[in-house]
Chains A and B, each alone.
Chain A
Amino acid sequence: MTAPLITADRLTRHYVVGGELVRALDGVSFDVREGEWVAIVGQSGSGKSTLMNLLGCLDTPTAGRYVLAGTDVGTLADDALADLRNREIGFVFQTFQLLARATALANVELPLVYRGLPRRERRERAEAALRSVGLANRMHHRPNELSGGQRQRVAIARALVGEPSILLADEPTGNLDSQTGEEIVRLFADLHARGHTLILVTHEPRLAARCPRAIRLMDGRVLGDGPGGELASAGGGRVPA
């Protein structure tokens, strides 16, 4: 078998709040292979977002090792981290995080701007990405002229446009009604079918149940790692040694 795309080895992230130690992540280990679709589940405060920020190279671990596509992220300086985010990571956030003043197209172009691509290529690729999420006729709308579901599609297009090796989504349906959420989930399923590697955080059992694999966190530790159907309800799955 080929080397895993992601290796998390005893990832630990501690915060000190008011003199007290908060173990947001406390030694989390797992591998993700190319083409996998993994759900991260767990109660609020269990460390899901903290883990995603580490996986997305937005944050660095207090201890432990994180290897992404053969690069040991812990050794990288700020600029290298920024470049890694730009090339390898596509991030989708619960609150969309679109630039309010920019059109859908401009938002999607942004990662390519930071990659230094020429204007024309940026535009073509951004248009293609928006078409692939079904927004061909909304390219010049600003976020406040779009529905929640459409905004999240723009965010997904923006995450996809740079052809990252991994797509990370932190509660992508958390701010959407259930029907729109379902559309977004179908979009993810479609991306998975097309070969993308996806890691998405959710606390919706229905969504987790659709994922081939789910990792359940509790108090910053892995409580279970197995097929999504088994882990959708609390307590399921095998507990790693």
Chain B
Amino acid sequence: MAQQPRRRFVDLHGRIERRALVFVFAILGVCSVGGLVEIAPLFAIENTVEPVRGMRPYTPLELAGRAIYLREGCYGCHSQQIRPFRDEVERYGAYSLAAESAFDHPFQWGSKRTGPDLARIGGRYSDEWHVRHLMNPREVVPASIMPPYAFLARAPLDPQVYARHVLTNRRLGVPYSDEQVANAAADMLTQANPDADGAGFLARYPGAAQRAFDASARPTEMTALVAYMQMLGTLAQFDWRQPDPAMLR
């Protein structure tokens, strides 16, 4: 065979394949592209998370409700992210901002909507409706396929246990102050008790709602979950029709 072998791409590959060290570095090079695409945006987080008025860390009661939301796997059927499309904003309200998930560890965006999006469920229904719906969804929405969660109303909420979530979240980067951490258990009971003196609590969590949330005498897991639902999406103050220039940096 006098024919001159052609240098082709495939041959190049064949040569790389036969040199182990070269092959290792080639693999590393290709994989790091994928890694870079995922990691690089984290370095631009200051740019992608726009500052918005009204955001505050969750109150201990809301945080407990969120822990119960995660434990029960509500995210399996409910997303918490409204996309900037007309059909979504007309149904659910203003699209979600990155800042609204800034205190979420982990975030609850999700992609599965067996039920509606819950990013702005707060204030859409009354506390009583939420309790009745969670006790037995079919009582208020006859065609619902959501499972009942009546046991939550019978499960007492242990403030000492859930207060530790505040500390955990601080370690994860949520800006809870020392005072907020120290008062977590007390704040949890105060928020669920309309007759308690809420001055200290409201100073720590401006604008938070202090009321009974459900009919139980002592806070239950139901109380915490309803408090969390009623807060969802109500913190950020902005109007998607007229994005406030002050909101944008």
A-B complex is real: no
- B contact set with A: CB distance below 8 Å: none
